[in-house]
Chains A and B, each alone.
Chain A
Amino acid sequence: MDNAIATVQEHGADLHAAHEHVALPQHRHHFETEEQQREAGSFGMWLFLLTEIMFFGGMFFAYLLYRNWYYPAFAVASNQLSVPLGAANTAILITSGFCMALGVWASEVQKKGFLVLMLVLTTLFGLAFLGVKTVEYHEKWEKHHIPGASFNISEFTNPAGFGLKEEPLAPDMAQKTQVFFFLYFAMTGMHALHMIIGIGLLFWLTHRAHRGDFTAGYVAPIENFGLYWHFVDIVWLFLFPLLYLINRHPLH
Chain B
Amino acid sequence: MGISPVLWQFLTKWLHASALFPAEASGISPYVDALYFFLLLMTVVGTALVAALVFGFSIRYRRARNPVATQIDGSTLMEATWTIIPLAIFLLVFVWGALLYFRIYNPPTNAMNIYVVGKQWMWKAEHPGGQHEINALHVPTGQPVQLTMISQDVFHSFSIPDFRVKREVIPGRYSTVWFEATQPGQYHLFCTQYCGTQHSGMIGEITVLTPDDYKKWLQESTSGMSLAQNGERLFASMGCNACHSGNAAARGPNLAGVYGSRLTLANGSDVLVNDAYLRDAILNPSQHVTAGYAPIMPTYQGQISEDGLIDLVEYIKNLQSNYRIQQTLVTSSSDAAAPTTPPQGTITPYMVKP
Binding site for B on A (CB under 8 A): 69-70, 72, 169-173, 175
Contact = CB atoms under 8 A, between A and B. Distances in A.
A171 B284 CA distance: 9
B296 A172 contact: no
A173 B297 CA distance: 11
A24 to B, nearest CB: 44
Interface string B271-291: 000000000000111110000
A168 to B, nearest CB: 9
* Majority secondary structure, B binding face: loop
Contacts of B295: 170
A144 B61 CA distance: 77
B224 to A, nearest CB: 34
B2 interface: no
B47 interface: no
B287 A173 contact: yes
A117 B297 CA distance: 61
Nearest to B295: A170
Contacts of A175: 299, 301
A171 B286 CA distance: 8
A69 B284 CA distance: 11
B158 to A, nearest CB: 26
Contacts of B286: 72, 169-170, 172-173
Contacts of B297: 170
Question: Interface residue tally of chain B, by bracket?
Answer: 10 to 19
Given A69-B287, A170-B298, 20 more contacts: A70-B287, A72-B286, A169-B286, A170-B285, A170-B286, A170-B295, A170-B296, A170-B299, A171-B298, A171-B299, A172-B283, A172-B284, A172-B285, A172-B286, A172-B287, A172-B299, A173-B284, A173-B286, A173-B287, A175-B299
A190 B286 CA distance: 32
Contacts of B301: 172, 175
A37 B229 CA distance: 78
Nearest to A174: B286
Nearest to B282: A172
A65 B91 CA distance: 32
A171 B300 CA distance: 10
Contacts of B285: 170, 172
Name the 10 nearest CB pairs between A and B, nearest first.
A170-B286, A172-B299, A173-B286, A172-B284, A170-B295, A172-B286, A171-B299, A172-B285, A172-B301, A171-B298
A127 to B, nearest CB: 42
23 contacts: A69-B287, A70-B287, A72-B286, A169-B286, A170-B285, A170-B286, A170-B295, A170-B296, A170-B297, A170-B298, A170-B299, A171-B298, A171-B299, A172-B283, A172-B284, A172-B285, A172-B287, A172-B299, A172-B301, A173-B284, A173-B286, A175-B299, A175-B301
A70 B267 CA distance: 13
A108 B284 CA distance: 59
A69 B173 CA distance: 15
A83 B31 CA distance: 61
Nearest to A73: B286
Contacts of A169: 286
A154 to B, nearest CB: 15
Interface in B279-336: 283-287, 295-299, 301
Nearest to B288: A172
Contacts of A69: 287
- In this complex, the member of A72, A169, A172, A175 whose beta carbon has the largest number of chain B beta carbons within 10 angstroms is A172
A175 B287 CA distance: 12
Nearest to B283: A172
Nearest to B297: A170
B159 to A, nearest CB: 29
B311 to A, nearest CB: 21
A171 B283 CA distance: 11
Contacts of B283: 172
A171 B298 CA distance: 7
Contacts of A172: 283-287, 299, 301
B293 to A, nearest CB: 12
Contacts of A72: 286
A55 B61 CA distance: 51
- In this complex, the member of B284, B285, B296, B298 whose beta carbon has the largest number of chain A beta carbons within 10 angstroms is B284
B42 to A, nearest CB: 36
Contacts of B298: 170-171
A68 to B, nearest CB: 12
